[in-house]
Amino acid sequence: MAKCVMVLYPDPVDGYPSKYARDNIPVIQRYPDGSTVPTPSNIDFTPGHLLGCVSGALGLRKLFEDAGHQLVVTSDKDGSDSEFERELVDAHIVISQPFWPAYLTKERIAKAPNLRLALTAGIGSDHVDLEAAKKHGITVVEVTYSNSISVAEHAVMQILNLVRNFVPSHRWSTEGGWNIADCVERAYDLEGMDVGVIAAGRIGRAVLRRLAPFDVNLHYTDTHRLPLQVEKELNVTFHAGVESLVRSVDVVSIHSPLYEATRQMFNERLLGTMRRGSYIVNTARGEETVPEAIAAALRSGQLAGYAGDVWYPQPPPVEHPWRTMPNNAMTPHVSGTTLSAQARYAAGTREILESWFAAKPILQEYLIVEGGQLAGTGALSYQK
Ligand code: NAD
């Protein structure tokens, strides 16, 4: 019998929903690269229902019960007295989501001698200390591609939000005003601007594809250059590094994984090299920036706007500088957990667990760490 601790975000404040805004979600069969979406043997949930919170339990309660495994589902994840830390000591599997990350630090890993599998129900496993996982023989996996398009849509939305000054204009309308000049004194068209993405992986490429019809000049940087025919098709200019990219654009969208090479990348120095009045959208990870430097650049006008959904830590304290900095269009970490995305990553989580319990190999695309080293997607994404 295995013990699994699943850490999920709390239910809605007014309770688990009994009805939804829509009756169903579109059926997506393939990802943009042609690979199939997750194909577990069965699912015990309704696609389009809320699965990522504690009561939703990723639709996996029955799977664990039927197989006689123990499942603990909690949102109490921080501090040494949290339910997560108490239950971790004899757990074999931890399932967590980047939106409400159960930080698996090296100290916590040292306290969990039975832990063999750390499964990210989503994408981005930086909340797991990957070095400690390698050392302790823990397999780290995530549901690659499950929410890439969800995040790309959010990034494009936030770029438009900032450039067109949407949030303050919306506020004027809900507060009873009709203050056209106040709304438009910071509003521009995106058309004709230089827009760059940092990392043209699954999300970054989807952002480029979605932005191409806006008649902008596209730029990107990545440690792995795209095939020339893709660059041509998207009409996108490659930059060998972040420094060259940020000097050449008006809008930056960040899509790189968080590791040593990207930690605190957007610091005071790099921000100072950008065009005055640049916009940054960050749906990658909050720690790829220095939060105080972002807030200072917004106050000085070096940045015209900052948006995104990723913070550190999560949830952030009420006094986090991003909650009150000017010209921000931040949301909590939600871009990758739409109801549409949840159906895919819940199915992918089940697919991985079915392989794990049957001692079958896990798809290379899902692997981050295996056998004491970076593997599969992890080997491509988490090293230079
Ligand atoms: P991916 O593995 O498809 O792409 C990552 C890309 O980053 C690769 O092309 C890789 O070559 C490139 N890269 C690695 N190091 C780099 C560096 N130092 N500079 C430039 N490029 C570099 O991953 P993806 O699905 O596109 O996801 C990217 C990241 O987005 C994830 O690691 C995660 O942190 C974040 N994410 C956020 C959400 C959300 O809800 N906000 C959801 C999913 C993923």
pLDDT digits (tens, 9 = 90+) for 320-348: 999 999 999 999 999 999 999 999 999 99
**Arithmetic mean of pLDDT, 21-35:** 96
Q: Quick check: 261 and 254 in contact, CB under 8 A?
A: no
**Which residue lies with its CA nearest to atom 33 of ligand 1?**
124
Q: Quick check: 361 and 373 in contact, CB under 8 A?
A: no
- Give the pLDDT confidence of 58-99 residue by residue, as tens digits: 999 999 999 999 999 999 999 999 999 999 999 999 999 999
> Which pLDDT band, with edges at 50, 70 and 90, does 383 fall under?
confident
CA atoms within 13 A on the CB side of 157: 15
DSSP 3-state of 180: helix
Structure tokens of 127?
């909340």
- Give the pLDDT confidence of 109-143 residue by residue, as tens digits: 999 999 999 999 999 999 999 999 999 999 999 99
- Give the pLDDT confidence of 239-296 residue by residue, as tens digits: 999 999 999 999 999 999 999 999 999 999 999 999 999 999 999 999 999 999 999 9
In this structure, the residues whose C-beta lies within 6 A of any atom of ligand 1 are 122-124, 147-148, 151, 198-204, 221-224, 255-258, 261-262, 283-285, 309-310, 333, 335-336, 377, 381, 384
Residue 333 is a catalytic residue: yes
Q: Which of 35, 130, 149, 151 to mutate to test the pocket of ligand 1 (most atoms within 8 A of CB)?
A: 151
Strands in 251-254's sheet, in edge-to-edge order, are: 236-239, 217-221, 194-198, 251-254, 278-282, 303-308, 328-330
Task: Collect all residues with Cβ–Cβ distance below 8 Å to 354 and sequence separation of at least 6.
Answer: 40, 41, 360
Total H helices, total E strands in the chain: 14, 14
Cα dihedral: 58, 21, 309, 156 (round 10):
120
Active-site choice (108, 285, 344, 350): 285
Distance 151 CA to ligand 1 centre (A): 11
**How large is the angle between the packed helices 166-174 and 148-163, nearest 10 degrees?**
70
Residue 42 is a catalytic residue: no
pLDDT at 384 over 90: no
Query: What is the C-alpha to C-alpha distance for residues 369 and 351, in angstroms, rounded to an integer?
Result: 18
Task: Collect all residues with Cβ–Cβ distance below 8 Å to 341 and sequence separation of at least 6.
Answer: 122, 146, 147, 150
> Which pLDDT band, with edges at 50, 70 and 90, does 197 fall under?
very high
**Which residue lies with its CA nearest to atom 43 of ligand 1?**
123
- In this structure, the strands spanning 93-96 and 70-74 are unpaired
Q: What is the pLDDT of residue 267?
A: 98
- Number of the ligand 1 atom closest to the C-alpha atom of 145: 25
Nearest to 209 by CA among 31, 26, 384: 31
Q: Quick check: 28 and 37 in contact, CB under 8 A?
A: yes
User: Quick one: what percent of the chain has pLDDT higher than 90?
Assistant: 99
Overall pTM surpassing 0.75 (yes/no): yes
